[in-house]
Amino acid sequence: MRALIVAIALIVLSGSLWQPLVIADQDFSSETRHRAVGMTGQTLWPLGEPVSEPPGNSDREPMVGQTAIPGVTANAIYAVDITSDELLYSYNADEPVAPASTLKMVTALTALAVLDPDHIVEIVQGDLVDTAVYSNAQLQPGDQVTVRDLLAGLMLPSGGDAANALARVAGGQLGPQVGQSPTGRFVEEMNEVGQDLGMTGSNFVNPDGPDHPEQFSTARDLAIAGKAVLDSRLLSEIVGSSGWTITVTGANARTYTVINTNDLIGVERVHGIKTGTTGGAGESVVLVTRREGNQVITVVMGSSQRYADTLTLLQFLDERIHWVNFGPSSDFPGIERAAERYGFVLAVPFVRPYLRTEVDRLYAELELGPRPRGTLPIRWGHVVFLNDGVELYQVPVLRAGISAN
């Protein structure tokens, strides 16, 4: 058995054993060219890693510029494709702005790093906020609520009472210094969490977001926090929900539903993440949308119409950017037809954003080795993706099954 495995590995990995399979030109569209060459000496990037930096992105310049978008009222804007790590748009993205309740993303991340989601927290009078002034999660003294439900009360209705309760309990577990309150210790930890994430332009002084002269963040930093929220399965589930049922035990046991303050929840391809509004901050919203499977985070800060600004920003991006599917797809129809005819699949197809003015320059070249035998999913060649003759990616081709041809 060991000898068989070694023999298969030698066949798969040794370029010298490969012979080209010539495929007729008519198998490919005019946009998809083909070359049939020997495999010796080829370097593969099996995960679709770039052979060179994508054009115009070596210094992290935004794909579609840094000037104001007509009709948008926001003071700071940022858009990034977090799946491909491509910076799409940036405007005053590093200017310090009052974050309002968008900082509750960091509150949630810090609390979840300290507390178990099933831990029960008892609400005290000091957790409550003035409901005529501040958003709240309808909590009452003596309520016993899980951390999981408090996180929902924090992120969906933007409850300051939930923020205070989480900060108090988690800060107590962190171990305040002499003379330091549990909430003060928690806020200290919030800043450490932010720094660890790479939020270098932020400073927090409270867990719930009221304006303070020493509290600020940036559009870029809020995108970083947003990505961390999405990386948490629980927080991602919460922020993508239109509502959440909170279960309270104790003397005033009850259940009730809190509603997401994000008016764009339910709009096609929108997932979350967090809103924020104060007199000093104006309106803000951190949003994640999907483009061909990729996740795009947009941040709008200091706006007078955050939802209209966000929709204008997304339209601006869609008019200028096309998300290219580097695989058998309508973007590369020749590869799609060849895959069907010759029974192969690309090992790791992926999607990347490209300027619409550059899409016509993209094409693919298919290199196949000899037709493999048996049923093992072994390498059968690779597809080279190019931009005006400059090689971008190489993706292995695997045998998908027995071809009728």
CB 100 within 8 A of CB 75: no
What is the distance in angstroms between the CA of the first residue and the CA of the last residue of the chain? 31
**Taking 80 as the threshold, does the pLDDT of residue 40 lie above it?**
no
For residues 97 and 76, the answer to whether their CB atoms sit within 8 Å is yes
What single-letter amino acid sits at 83? T
Query: Count of residues for the chain?
Result: 405
Q: Which helix (H) or strand (E) holds 105?
A: helix 104-114
Mean pLDDT within 105-110: 98
* Cα atoms in the 13 Å half-sphere on the side-chain side of 275: 24
> Count of CB atoms within 10 A of residue 46's CB?
12
Mean of all residue pLDDT scores within the chain: 85
**What pLDDT sits at residue 374?**
61
Task: Tell me the backbone φ, ψ of residue 169, rounded to 5 degrees.
Answer: -70, -45
- Among 6-15, 84-93, 264-273, name the one with the lowest average pLDDT: 6-15
What is the spatial distance between Cα 135 and Cα 157, in angstroms, rounded to a whole number? 7
Nearest of 390, 395, 397 to residue 52 by alpha carbon: 390
Question: Residue 269 pLDDT > 60, yes or no?
Answer: yes
Dump pLDDT digits (tens) for 189-230: 999 999 999 999 999 999 999 999 999 999 999 999 999 999
How confident is the model over 288-346, as pLDDT tens digits? 999 999 999 999 999 999 999 999 999 999 999 999 999 888 999 888 888 888 888 88
For CATH 3.40.710.10, list the domain ranges present in the chain.
Answer: 76-304
Percent of the chain with pLDDT over 70: 82
What are the tens digits of pLDDT across the range 42-52?
Answer: 333 333 444 33
pLDDT in tens, 358-405: 999 999 988 887 766 665 667 778 899 999 989 999 988 887 655 444
3 state SS of 384? strand
How many whole angstroms separate alpha carbon 279 and alpha carbon 302? 10
- Model's pTM, two decimal places? 0.84
User: Can you tell me whether residue 228 is helix, strand or coil?
Assistant: helix
Q: What is the mean pLDDT of residues 112-134?
A: 97
* CA 220 – CA 100 distance, rounded (Å): 15
Q: d(Cα 92, Cα 75) in Å, to the nearest integer?
A: 7
Is residue 366 within a helix (H) or strand (E), and if so which, with residue range?
strand 362-368
| Tokens read off for 36 | 């049939």
Q: Which fold has domain 76-304?
A: Beta-lactamase (3.40.710)
